[in-house]
Amino acid sequence: MHRMFFLTHSPLNVLFTKNSSDFVVNEIPLYPFSGEGEHLVLHVRKKDLTTWDMVQKISEITGAKVRDIGYAGLKDKDGMTTQYISLHRNFEPKLEGFTHDKIKILDKTYHNNKIRIGHLKGNRFFIRLKKVNPIDAKKLSSALKAIAKEGYPNFFGYQRFGVENKNYQTGREILQGKRRERNRKMSDFYISAYQSYLFNMWLNRRLEICHLINECDAKTVASTLKWSLEDAKAIKQQPQFFKLLPGDVAHHYPAGKPFVCEDLQSEVERFAKKETTITGWIAGNRSMRSEGVAKEIDDALFAEAEPFLGKMDGGRRFAWNFIEDAEGSYKEEEAWFEMHFSLTKGSYATTVLEELLHVDLLSN
């Protein structure tokens, strides 16, 4: 896939290293913890470990089973990350004097319920880029402001696809019956990578279409996409880069339910206010699908998955996402550009970084 970008500046040649000094992730809880209850909640900082590695270590120290330790999401292995985990408070005495060179318990409290996957509002990121010259620093600053104002395409990050970018191929082979995976969790993981691959292909196509609409006259758009001239003119009049199409599945932002766009003009206005956003299909059963013009594009991109829909759980994912509280600063003496921003759960800071740098990190 030739990766498409929303912004149009040339690629920036800077140094990004995912280490504990230059890449920091802080989890934002979904709600305040009650301070009472049978579950011990630990605020944990880890360095260069996966969440699974960290949970395994806590399990070994306390005797709690891994499945009984709750966490809201998986954090990057590389870098410094903080997150909240829960276990029964009966295990608290085993943590007295706990020390580990890559894990630190920052704080503790209590709650009535176990922390479960998805129980987070989002994450706050710090990223430091190095070897940044003054010209590229200005481009980065402008690009960050543009994304903060309008949003960015919410691709799945390269982490989903493995070092050799083959996870999705394994998932496809499992669905085709060409490969067996005895471990159910790994099988689900590979199939999820295949679903993510299809989503990324679809989103890339939508970006191609948006560039075509923005750069060409309505007659050319209609002819190229085989749309009616009336539809092409109406869609081209939308002021934002990412165009909403008749039949798109929108979603209240940042939370709510998906729905099919019927009154397009009304949805364009709400989209501009960041009250709603557009979603893409996670191919599978029991999920809402697009209609009309949007469905024609979806059908072409997801055709290969149609025979396997009964074997996959479907859903919707934000196709266009928004960052919050974005800050950027340039330290010319060190040639560093540092930035902070927050993202909703399930979004990748590296995807934002790819848009800023116009580099596909998967191929680097």
Could you give the residue numbers annotated as active site? 76
Long-range contacts of 50-55 (CB under 8 A, 24+ apart): 50/74, 50/75, 50/77, 51/75, 51/83, 53/77, 54/85, 54/103, 55/85
Helix ranges, 226-327 (H): 229-236, 264-272, 292-302
The H or E element containing residue 60 is helix 51-62
Closest of 247, 230, 146, 159 to residue 196, by C-alpha: 159
Q: Are 337 and 329 in contact (CB under 8 A)?
A: yes
Whole-number Cα distances in Å, 117 to 72, 223, 227: 4, 46, 42
DSSP code at position 268: H
- Read off φ and ψ for residue 175, nearest 5 degrees: -65, -35
* SS3 state at 144: helix
Residue ranges of E strands in 5-88: 23-29, 39-47, 70-71, 80-88
Question: If you search the block for the tokens 């709750």, which residue do you land on?
Answer: 70
Q: How far apart are CA 2 and CA 204, in angstroms?
A: 8
DSSP code at position 68: G
DSSP code at position 205: H
